[in-house]
Amino acid sequence: MIAAVMTLALHAALSPSRATPLVPVSIGITLTNRARTPAILDFPTPDLFWLQIRDAAGKAIFDSRTGHKPIAVHRKFPLAVGTTRIEWNGLTDDRTAPKVPGQYVVHVEVQTTTERLVADVPLTLQAPQSISETLHAKPNAEVTIEGTVERDGGRTYIVAGDEKIRISSPLGLRPQGEYVVRGTVGTMVGDDQPSLLVSRYAPAVGNLEPQGTPTPPPLPVPSPTATRRS
């Protein structure tokens, strides 16, 4: 989709535009000068653009400005031919996997001292594969699953309903609640069932306390009191 103001046009494209959780999404941003003369753009901050991932209600779940405050320093930028690509890692600002399935919007803005360009592109986030689908997937297939973590005899499993699959690594010290896990289907030593070789994982949306309560610290040792002398 294209948003245009006067002689400038902003274009944004996604790859892929339909993705499962934890799959990075490449966002290509192109700013085009449609005039016959070169353009020198004046920006109020060093940021040439910013983007948000917004849910169906318009709420931003990810904002590229999170964690840093724009510096009020003007920057002049000659508009050249080419595309800027950035990669959204598939996580919200809370470092959790977004709610799926769902329809989202990638919102891109370019704000100069005189003009504001906007481009909105739809993004579809699909549900993870079921554990039964994963168990029947081809070796080395990349999949994303969701479930709770279970430890049994030194092995770690993802459990969803009455299904479970072994994963190659524990998800933190004391993982609790729902997790989204991505990896490749393979076989681990000592198993004849397919396992998931983990490449990425994140707490699912709503899992506000993914790590369990740490072991309580030892009680403080009371210090001896001095004997009073009369």
The per-residue pLDDT for range 172-229, each reduced to its tens digit, is 888 889 999 999 999 887 788 899 999 999 999 888 777 654 444 555 555 454 444 4
Say yes or no: 184 and 152 in one domain.
yes
CA 77 vs. chain centroid, Å, equals 30
Residue 214: its pLDDT value, please?
44
**81-109 residue pLDDT tens:** 677 889 999 999 999 999 999 999 999 99
The answer to the question of residue 171 being in a domain is yes
191 lies in which domain range?
Answer: 131-203
The answer to the question of residue 91 being in a domain is yes
Say yes or no: 144 and 110 in one domain.
no
Residue 68: its pLDDT value, please?
67
**19-68 residue pLDDT tens:** 999 999 999 998 888 777 777 888 887 778 889 999 999 999 999 988 76
Say yes or no: 172 and 99 in one domain.
no
Say yes or no: 120 and 195 in one domain.
no
- Residue 51 sits in a domain whose CATH number is 2.60.40.2360
How many whole angstroms separate alpha carbon 187 and alpha carbon 195?
A: 5
Domain total for the chain? Answer: 2
Say yes or no: 25 and 115 in one domain.
yes
- Give the global pTM: 0.79
Residue 215: its pLDDT value, please?
46
Say yes or no: 40 and 86 in one domain.
yes
Say yes or no: 142 and 121 in one domain.
no
Say yes or no: 185 and 152 in one domain.
yes
